[in-house]
């Protein structure tokens, strides 16, 4: 089937010149202008035909155009920077009859449940036909994905609708940490928490040269697919606290890191109990060599 085309529109570069739009450093803005790269990002999470898509931080709409060519059932755009509204309104008119809803606001304050006007899909069934995509600003990417992982674990927000997949951009180092395997050098709190509730795939890396302005680092595209059953049966807050405590001591023994999690009165007895239960060959068990790294 031929790829549908939008009506003739000014190029993204022309729109940036027309509205005198420049990336704001305080908002960590980096625009994707290459249509081929935008199409690759739009396809990363899965087939968007007849799906509902929420794009976070669309900016002037370069990735949005690639999303719309996939014939989604509807698109919600969440954009904090109101300078981009004229370009997005123009794109909304050109996208008809596909409904495009524009939300002018901070995604950190936005109720993601409202992004998808779809009936809930049972969690045990295949992933729902809803996706979250975003060329995320580096300044909010980690706190935002941690917030969404919490929502995944509680099946709230966007995940009230079912297992909603995400395709997001991160600094390459953060992307590698998210997908790091147990025992690897990049294993950290973020990879433990993310992989407890999602299948994490570092799909591909984009060189900094494809962005305007060019960032100092390369960018990784990560796809997160919620698991039917979490890998650990503990509340999100508990897992996150334990992982944070342990990985704050990455270069020291795991016993030392564990001590920070216990009330001072019980530190000695509980640490001794953990020491006797660890089946680790290393004389001083550490995060990467111990099963808790999994």
- Tell me: the pLDDT tens digits for 141-172? 999 999 999 999 999 999 999 999 999 999 99
Q: Any bridge partners for residue 225, and if so which? A: 199
Distance (Å, whole) CA 44 – CA 9 = 25
Distances from the Cα of 13 to the Cα of 33, 61, 66, 178, angstroms:
7, 11, 15, 33
Among 9-13, 139-143, 197-201, 289-293, name the one with the lowest average pLDDT: 289-293
Q: Provide the pLDDT confidence category of residue 292 given band limits of 50, 70 and 90.
A: very low
What pLDDT shows up at residue 5?
64
Q: Any bridge partners for residue 165, and if so which? A: 131
Residue among 239, 171, 236, 176 at smallest CA distance from 207: 171
Residue among 38, 43, 250, 253 at smallest CA distance from 131: 43
Q: Provide the pLDDT confidence category of residue 119 given band limits of 50, 70 and 90.
A: confident
What pLDDT shows up at residue 126?
94
Q: Provide the pLDDT confidence category of residue 226 given band limits of 50, 70 and 90.
A: very high
Sequence-distant (6+) residues with CB within 8 A of 11 are: none
pLDDT mean across residues, the chain: 85
Distance (Å, whole) CA 26 – CA 240 = 28
Asked if pLDDT for residue 78 goes beyond 80, the answer is: yes
Q: Order of strands, edge to edge, in the sheet holding 74-79? A: 100-104, 74-79, 52-56, 130-134, 165-171, 219-226, 198-206
225 touches 179 (CB < 8 A): no
Q: Tokens 């596909």 sit at which residue?
A: 98
- Between 112 and 284, the more confident residue is 112
Mean pLDDT, rounded, for 258-287: 55
What pLDDT shows up at residue 14?
83
Q: Where do the domains of the chain lie, and which CATH numbers do they carry?
A: 12-226 (3.40.50.150), 248-293 (no CATH)
């Amino acid at each position: 089937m031929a790829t549908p085309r939008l009506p003739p529109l000014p190029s993204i570069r022309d729109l940036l010149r027309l509205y005198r739009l420049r990336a704001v450093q305080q908002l960590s803005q980096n625009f994707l202008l290459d249509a081929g790269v935008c199409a690759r990002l739009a396809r990363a999470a899965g087939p968007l035909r007849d799906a509902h898509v929420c794009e976070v931080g669309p900016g002037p709409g370069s990735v949005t155009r690639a999303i719309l060519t996939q014939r989604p059932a509807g698109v919600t755009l969440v954009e904090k920077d109101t300078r981009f509204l004229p370009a997005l309104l123009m794109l909304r008119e050109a996208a008809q009859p596909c409904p495009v809803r524009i939300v002018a606001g901070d995604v950190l304050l936005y109720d993601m449940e409202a992004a998808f006007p779809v009936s809930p899909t049972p969690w045990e069934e295949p992933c729902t036909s809803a996706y979250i995509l975003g060329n995320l600003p580096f300044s909010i990417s980690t706190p935002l994905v941690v917030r969404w992982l919490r929502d995944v674990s509680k099946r709230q927000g966007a995940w009230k609708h079912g297992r909603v997949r995400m395709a997001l951009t991160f600094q390459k180092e953060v992307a590698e940490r998210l997908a790091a395997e147990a025992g690897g050098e990049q294993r950290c709190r973020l990879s433990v928490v993310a992989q407890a509730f999602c299948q994490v795939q570092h799909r591909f890396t984009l060189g900094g040269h494809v962005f305007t302005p060019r960032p100092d680092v390369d960018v990784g595209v990560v796809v997160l697919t919620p698991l039917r059953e979490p890998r650990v049966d503990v509340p999100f807050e508990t897992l996150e606290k334990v992982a944070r405590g342990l990985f704050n001591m990455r270069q020291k023994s795991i016993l030392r890191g564990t001590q920070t999690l216990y009330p001072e009165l019980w530190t000695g007895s509980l640490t001794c109990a953990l020491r006797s239960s660890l089946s680790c060959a290393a004389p001083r068990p550490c995060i990467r060599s111990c099963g808790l790294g999994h």
